Structure 1
Amino acid sequence: MIPTKLIPRTAEAHEPPLLIKNLLAQSLRYEPQREIVYRDLFRINYIQFNQRVRQLANVLAELDVKPGDTVAVLDWDSHRYLECFLGVTSVGAILHTVNVRLPPAQVQYTINHAKDKVILIHEDFLPILTAIKGELTTVEKYVVLSDKVYTGTARINTLDEIPNGFSGEYEALLSKASDQYEFPDFDENTWATTFYTTGTTGSPKGVYFSHRQLFMHTMGLLTYIIGYEAMPFKGSTDVYMPITPMFHVHAWGFPFLATMMSAKQVYPGRYEPELLLKLLITEGVTLSHCVPTILNMLVSNPAAQKFRQNLSRWKVLIGGSALTKGLAKAATELGITVMSGYGMSETAPILAVGYLNEQEKTLSPEEQIELRTRAGRIAPFVEMRLMDDNGQFVPHDGHSLGEIVARGPWLTQGYYEDSERGAELWKGGWLHTGDVASITPDNWVIIADRTKDVIKTGGEWVSSLDMEDVLSQVEGVAESAVIGLPDDRWGERPHALIILKPGYSLTAEGIKAYLQAKIERGELHKWYVPDRIIFVSDIPKTSVGKIDKKKIRSEMKELILGSSTTIS
């Protein structure tokens, strides 16, 4: 850094640190009467919410949680989880959002690696705890989270199903705690949250973020989502409901933003298509975010057609996997406004969000879909470049490809107790995403593929994401996944898994003919016809809903070698 002159400081002057508690405090300023809703079971306003967060702080003190201790949460998306987002962090402790979809052995690894002291766990996940409890090395106390206290099947203070060794049930403990608590000031670089991201090799990696980073991520969302209206979100009229698990990258940071704005929030608990649609309608939800699998599940539900007039106010940000044009079109036909975003666990996660400028808003719906399915425009305060294999920057001309590297005020600084992989992540002073893309002169990011998923065939690089996008536009195709497998002649060749929509009957030959016709019209590259097309009822997904291409590659190799007569 260049030499600079710092501003003079008066000894008595106060410089407020950028802390999560300040986001919470803002929620009482202007609209404290707005509600936070949990399924069809429970609702509170922001006055009550703030009281409950302070009660949680006192419960944590009773459980001997001190600044720097780690508190783990295993829960569905709920008001309780939101209280932990704000309460655990504001006492100076670290919130570990545990991925409940990992195998029990990996859940055990993450809890031990994070050195969790206290676990708050929903009763639905007690079987996981039963399987691993004897192997946990640092946990001292447990609290059970129960929905029964909201349904009338048990009173808060008389829940009879508290497991042995538990300190109590969440609501019962809150009901006995004082709602008076003064959250302290501390250094804004204090560790606030941690969670674990799984890759293709090795143990899960611990990602971590400070109060400053999460505060600045919230300001970035505020600037882009509200200021630039990339996905218009007004606290006075909009209602927020996450459909991304809260254990996954802080539910993309939106709970912090919605709380700061005291917007109405709806938490759906376990994802059930009928209940999600019911909450969308009855609670007036207008903004959500999810992976494409969830959106596809909802738009394919027969009830969606019934409520299409209510869906016209719903805005959905898609991330985690590429939004295909076929899915974007299906959602748009129901009146849903869709837009893509881009980021990763290590980036908290927002790096880009789709934004249509004044000129682009005049385009036809079909032309807009082309833009809405891109990864987005580079987010405020984020530096993003493209880098080739030699570490040289690639021009932002919309055509040249390179790995996305980034810098910004909310990117993780490394991996917990894993300096080697942390150094690899930040090689050369830029965070390396592993995604291959082009960037246009006007800052649109166009993802080509993950570096490990690009298919090299006949000396050409073919994007599996592009192929999936083309397949999504075949009438009758609900979902697809394309991977490359070794080929003696061409190096690699693409192979596709396809899920059909109900009532459709397609053949591999028919789909190949559709693609070949596009090639002959000059609309596609000649390599875009898969060698094999396999029709399946399900496509493997990771714990956060992304297509699991590592597993698909393994299974397709076995399938091809073991029973070639079953594939097309």
Structure 2
Amino acid sequence: MKEAAMSAYDRDLDKNPANYQPLTPLSFLERSARVFPDHPAIVHGRIRRSYRDFYARSRRLASALAKAGVGKNDTVAVICANTPAMLEAHYGVPMCGGVLNTLNTRLDAPIIAFSLDHGEAKVFIVDREFSKLAKEALALAKVKPLVVDYDDPEYDGPGERIGSVEYEDFIAGGDPDYAWQRPADEWDAIALNYTSGTTGNPKGVVSHHRGAYLLALGNIVTCGMAKHPVYLWTLPMFHCNGWCFPWSISAVAGTHVCLRWVRAKAMYDAIADQGVTHLCGAPIVMSLLLNAPAAEKREIGRTVSFFTAAAPPPEAVLAAMKAAGFDVTHLYGLTETYGPSVINDWNRDWDGLSSADYAAKKARQGVPYPVLEGMTVMNPETMEPVPADGVTLGEVMMRGNVVMKGYLKNRKASDEAFAGGWFHSGDLGVLYPDGYIQLKDRSKDIIISGGENISSIEVEDVLFKHPAVQAAAVVAKPDDKWGETPCAFVELKPGMSATAEEIIAWCRQNLAAFKCPRTVIFTELPKTSTGKIQKFVLREMAKGA
């Protein structure tokens, strides 16, 4: 068969350094430091840093890490609050070729130890507040990383220095003019984030420079961010790299207002005093703002954009937030999609809908970000789209450049996640005629409490180990403050007894506190004819508990 003649558009038009550079969000900081060197980049208590300072300190960190032996694909783990050091790590670590692994401060020592070992951490930056947790984890871990203490001047609580060098001393040895390099390939890893495991240990989601660059820009477009926004860090930066906002805000030369603890007074003070324009958070953040004592609230006098994920906010909460000066937008995504990649993109034609219809529209997760190439609801067995009728259940699936590289050292899980050329989210939902999706259930039975993922299976495993427990099942119980909390249904062994308090105390001995059930109900578990527990029945029981 004769080969087709090469088109003129395919001849002598190759990639070269002049017309192709790998995409990386690191370039955002470089540009803002060059164009707006004196603009406020970071506010943290009494600390004020310009973009010139932010860029120089990030390069110092990169240089110091390189001197410590960190190179391409070496993991640098960080356990910190939302502080300047955490922001600098989002640039400094990948500037020397390293991969940033931000660790959830609410996890327990064995899981932190597993993450350090699995990611083969070469350096571990530890905020003094979490030194006890880090010390316990290091004692359990096989790896022996260089430990760098971060002693935040805004923190005056308990803790100790457990490393060989303090952060400021460490970066002081770095070069503020360090010649950082773009990644050789935009497919190179930029971050490692561990998901809450549904069974056993968590999976390590690997993100690349291209995806981080695109999702960061997607945030700007989706959230309507103009130049110089003021962003309040109420969302933990350990959550999918703060949904890529450490890179988004710098792209538009915005001001990062750090917040060490999410407290109502601190939030209102920052919003009023710093001119905050945007913030993100789980339902718990809205609850804190709305239920704050009058003495802690401040007059805002303008509309502040608030972006929330997890369960859609109830209509009453949306109305209360609007009255308080916040415009709430509902997002949806996963760690595997760099954070939020779906938005409830509001159509102004819906403003005049009845209360019930308005709430129904708001409850939908929505449509893809502009940077997510594909999203639909499919039958996972046939890989055929379900009818767009708003009724037929299927699995939400995505594809595009803001989907992870895969799971670290877990080819089987990666292959399963990408089966059929789509990323399988594990979330069950429906598709509407206008292309919007709505989640209806979670096939993995993940409970989202205060923005944290909790595996029901992990909690059930602990419950089954209690000497008096014969059978147990855990489901999500709706909660006005946390969005959802774990609710445990327990069958006791014949002749055995236990109280709800004893069961909860048992869980606290074996789980991170936020994973423990808030409610325990003793009952015979409803089962199918084959003995499978009917969790949908338990969910209804939990709602009325």
With the shorter chain as reference, the TM-score category is: 0.7 to 0.9
Match of residue 377, structure 2, among 382, 386, 404: 386
List per-residue Cα deviations over 1:183-221 (Å, max 9, x = no partner).
113221111100100133121100011111111222322
Q: Quick one: structure 1 residues 420 and 445, their matched pair in 2 at CA, closer, same or farther if it must change by over 3 Å?
A: same
List per-residue Cα deviations over 1:53-90 (Å, max 9, x = no partner).
11111211232212221101100011211111011112
Question: 1:252 maps to which residue?
Answer: 243
Q: Does 1:54 align with 2:59?
A: yes
Q: Quick one: structure 1 residues 494 and 399, their matched pair in 2 at CA, closer, same or farther if it must change by over 3 Å?
A: farther
Question: 2:253 maps to which residue?
Answer: 262
Question: 1:99 maps to which residue?
Answer: 104
Percentage of matched positions with identical amino acids:
26
Q: Does 1:446 align with 2:438?
A: yes
Following TM superposition, by how much is the alpha carbon of 1:33 offset from its aligned partner in structure 2, in angstroms? 2.5
Question: 1:290 maps to which residue?
Answer: 281
Does the 8 A contact of 1:26 with 1:261 survive in 2?
no
TM-score scaled by length of structure 1 = 0.75
User: How far, CA to CA, are the matches of 2:135 and 2:513 in structure 1?
Assistant: 28
Q: Secondary structure at the match of 2:300?
A: helix
List per-residue Cα deviations over 1:446-465 (Å, max 9, x = no partner).
222213559xxxxxxxxx99
Match of residue 271, structure 1, among 246, 262, 276: 262
Alignment of 1:416-431 (within 5 A): 416-431=408-423
Q: Quick one: structure 1 residues 366 and 50, their matched pair in 2 at CA, closer, same or farther if it must change by over 3 Å?
A: farther
Question: 2:188 maps to which residue?
Answer: 190
User: How far, CA to CA, are the matches of 1:362 and 1:500 in structure 2?
Assistant: 27
Does the 8 A contact of 2:287 with 2:480 survive in 1?
no
Question: 1:180 maps to which residue?
Answer: 177
Q: Secondary structure at the match of 1:88?
A: helix
User: How far, CA to CA, are the matches of 1:58 and 1:266 in structure 2?
Assistant: 25
Question: 2:467 maps to which residue?
Answer: none
Q: Secondary structure at the match of 2:181?
A: coil
Q: Quick one: structure 1 residues 10 and 434, their matched pair in 2 at CA, closer, same or farther if it must change by over 3 Å?
A: closer
Question: 1:479 maps to which residue?
Answer: none
Following TM superposition, by how much is the alpha carbon of 1:21 offset from its aligned partner in structure 2, in angstroms? 2.4
1:182 counterpart letter in structure 2:
A
Q: Secondary structure at the match of 1:257?
A: helix
Does the 8 A contact of 1:58 with 1:178 survive in 2?
yes
Following TM superposition, by how much is the alpha carbon of 1:280 offset from its aligned partner in structure 2, in angstroms? 1.6
Q: Quick one: structure 1 residues 367 and 306, their matched pair in 2 at CA, closer, same or farther if it must change by over 3 Å?
A: farther
Match of residue 48, structure 2, among 43, 47, 53: 43
**Structure 2: gaps (5+ residues):** 450-455, 461-472, 482-499, 526-540
Alignment of 1:500-515 (within 5 A): none
Does the 8 A contact of 1:38 with 1:268 survive in 2?
no
2:337 counterpart letter in structure 1:
T
1:257 counterpart letter in structure 2:
S
Following TM superposition, by how much is the alpha carbon of 1:496 offset from its aligned partner in structure 2, in angstroms? 8.5
Does the 8 A contact of 2:77 with 2:100 survive in 1?
yes
Question: 1:373 maps to which residue?
Answer: 363
Q: Secondary structure at the match of 2:437?
A: strand
Does the 8 A contact of 1:338 with 1:372 survive in 2?
no
Q: Quick one: structure 1 residues 311 and 206, their matched pair in 2 at CA, closer, same or farther if it must change by over 3 Å?
A: farther
Q: Does 1:408 align with 2:400?
A: yes
Following TM superposition, by how much is the alpha carbon of 1:494 offset from its aligned partner in structure 2, in angstroms? 12
Q: Does 1:109 align with 2:114?
A: yes
Alignment of 1:515-530 (within 5 A): none
Deviates more, 1:170-179 or 1:407-416: 170-179
Deviates more, 1:279-288 or 1:117-126: 279-288
Q: Quick one: structure 1 residues 11 and 257, their matched pair in 2 at CA, closer, same or farther if it must change by over 3 Å?
A: closer
Question: 1:508 maps to which residue?
Answer: none
1:216 counterpart letter in structure 2:
L
Question: 1:520 maps to which residue?
Answer: none
Does the 8 A contact of 1:328 with 1:369 survive in 2?
no
Q: Quick one: structure 1 residues 311 and 67, their matched pair in 2 at CA, closer, same or farther if it must change by over 3 Å?
A: farther
Following TM superposition, by how much is the alpha carbon of 1:498 offset from its aligned partner in structure 2, in angstroms? 6.7
Q: Quick one: structure 1 residues 137 and 182, their matched pair in 2 at CA, closer, same or farther if it must change by over 3 Å?
A: same
Q: Quick one: structure 1 residues 329 and 498, their matched pair in 2 at CA, closer, same or farther if it must change by over 3 Å?
A: same
Deviates more, 1:89-98 or 1:368-377: 368-377
What is the aligned residue count?
A: 472
Question: 1:519 maps to which residue?
Answer: none
